[in-house]
Structure 1
Amino acid sequence: MTVITLGPEGTFSHELALRLKCDPVVLEPTIHRIFASVAAGNGDGIVPIENSEAGGVGETLDGLTKYPLSIIAEMYMPVHHNFASLVPLDKIRVIYAHPQTHEQCSTWIERWQVPVIHTSSNASSAIEAKKTPNAGAILSASAAAMYKLPIIAGHIENNPGNTTRFVRIATVPCASNQSGKCSLLIDPDIDRAGLLYDLLGVFATRRINLTRIESRPSKKGMGKYVFFLDYAVNTYTDEALRELREITNIRNLGCYPRIEVPL
């Protein structure tokens, strides 16, 4: 099965696909392009959905809202960032970094007081740093080696336990809905006092554990939001979903297993 993920070569998404021995792997320049390609039937996709330091990945959440796709697996990968450049640190005049990478390394970046230019991926940061005088990039060790950029400072992430959660997306959901985790998109069509309380109460009264809840602008106007929920399956899950449909608009994003990532 073809797997589509974020390129160019050297991104963490690409590294994950290689670790999982996906073949063939197709690289797209943006997460939006990954979703569009999967929706067109060109293969499954692997996208980052949240990071332990920087939180949810907006492009992925927007893609799940826009496209009728399902999550069929999740993967967790430790993420370590490095600063690499062709010149010494005291000569650096600009740093290239992906926005999520910037947030995950904000403490180190603030210490140097150097302007940061955002890029579409860590690999793109390496490419820009190589062609810009007195520039550096924040990227993975494998990307630094791939693009022949010497590492000047290693493991510069704010948290040594920095981890990114990835999901595999597909046009067809998993055959079984008894996997350990499920994801749900809630798109309220009304705004009233107590709505969120009622939504969460559907899970609380059935002792269904919510492992994540996140809001995201619905793109329908100021103050209008959709909610992403992850929850652990129990015997009352189907009953909870039936009650939710009576309260608001929901879309089941799928129930899925966790796949361990080889070191």
Structure 2
Amino acid sequence: MKRRAEKRAALRAPGRLITLGPEGTFSHEMALKLNAVPPEEIVLLPTIHGIMAAVARGDGDGIVPMENSEAGSVGETLDGLARHPLFITAEMYMPIHHNLASLVPLERIRVIYAHPQTHEQCSDAIEKWGVPVIHTSSNASSALEARKTPNAGALIPVIAAGLYHMPVLVRNTENNASNTTRFVRISHAPLQEKKPEKCSILIDPDQDRSGLLHDLLEAFARRNINLTRIESRPSKRKIGEYVFFLDTAWSEKTADAIIELKTITGVKELGCYRKIGVEP
């Protein structure tokens, strides 16, 4: 009886949700939006690599950015999915709005701190201001660096400006008003979803021949399975060698296509999952 009670208590106990910190990043904001009842303990780590390693150890689930409509894929996330035994269990989309914040007026700013993806998403405004940019590990780090540097500004979300008491000078500095980031929830175990919406796989070719990519894609085309995304990424082994990340719309025939791919080359299944809606 005692063991049964302990098992039921464990099932009810809140889990850990690991995401990019410090407080005030878009990843942290997404984790707050996803916090369920009972609430999960949110753990903030300074790098995506650290998040991936912690989730692979079984320390909890993770929330990481996958791609942005303006700046494209997040390379550190793709590399982590390739390196670690991890699975995607859900995807979420968030409108992204950046803001220039500073303790001094705009005309006195001599340097701007920004995450590399933020820099790319706000490149038009940065070019107009003509101020040099220093890259940081997160948007929250940008706020912290700007606070302790004389005549500095930071490109940060509203949540970070509030947390670190940075007055917002210019709102919505992103190049595109519809700027959106796709986040994924990752786990050390796959999700057993009967009718998912999307599946992700990594293809690591074990051969180099003409027509290989055609054969890989043809396994989906023949079954009328829509590929929603395909991207190459350096294999990290040698120059000119790549792995491919594929997202496919789920269908009853997706499993058959993946089985066929495995007869052609190396395949790592990253999971089948659904989209989770979050409040804007």
Equivalent residue for 2:153, pick from 108, 131, 136: 136
Residue 58 of structure 2: aligned partner: 41
Q: How many Å separate the matches in 1 of 2:24 and 2:129? A: 25
Contact kept, 8 Å, 1:126 with 1:137, in 2: the verdict is yes
Alignment pair present for 1:18 and 2:32: yes
Residue 229 of structure 1: aligned partner: 246
Residue 97 of structure 2: aligned partner: 80
Show CA shifts across 1:179-199 (max 9, x none).
010000000011111111111
Q: 5 Å matches for 1:85-124?
A: 85-124=102-141
Alignment pair present for 1:211 and 2:235: no
Q: Secondary structure at the match of 1:19?
A: helix
Task: Give the deviation of 1:20 after TM superposition.
Answer: 1.3
Task: Give the deviation of 1:19 after TM superposition.
Answer: 1.1
Q: How many Å separate the matches in 1 of 2:50 and 2:251? A: 35
Q: How many Å separate the matches in 1 of 2:147 and 2:255? A: 53
Q: Secondary structure at the match of 1:191?
A: coil
Contact kept, 8 Å, 1:83 with 1:152, in 2: the verdict is yes
Q: How many Å separate the matches in 2 of 1:235 and 1:128? A: 50
Task: Give the deviation of 1:234 after TM superposition.
Answer: 1.4
* Aligned partner letter, 1:10: G
Residue 8 of structure 2: aligned partner: none
* Aligned partner letter, 1:245: K
* Rg comparison, structure with higher value: 2
Q: How many Å separate the matches in 2 of 1:157 and 1:177? A: 38
Alignment pair present for 1:8 and 2:22: yes
Q: How many Å separate the matches in 2 of 1:116 and 1:94? A: 6
Equivalent residue for 1:153, pick from 170, 180, 197: 170
Equivalences, count? 263
Contact kept, 8 Å, 1:177 with 1:255, in 2: the verdict is no
Show CA shifts across 1:152-201 (max 9, x none).
00001000000000000001111125301000000001111111111111
Q: 5 Å matches for 1:61-76?
A: 61-76=78-93
Contact kept, 8 Å, 1:20 with 1:262, in 2: the verdict is no
TM-score w.r.t. the length of structure 1 is 0.98
Q: Secondary structure at the match of 1:198?
A: helix
Task: Give the deviation of 1:242 after TM superposition.
Answer: 1.4
* Aligned partner letter, 2:171: G
Q: Secondary structure at the match of 2:275?
A: coil
Q: 5 Å matches for 1:237-248?
A: 237-248=254-265
Q: How many Å separate the matches in 2 of 1:5 and 1:80? A: 19
Q: How many Å separate the matches in 1 of 2:241 and 2:80? A: 17
Show CA shifts across 1:88-110 (max 9, x none).
11111100000000000011111
Q: Which runs of 5+ in 2 are unaligned?
A: 1-14
Q: How many Å separate the matches in 2 of 1:176 and 1:87? A: 51
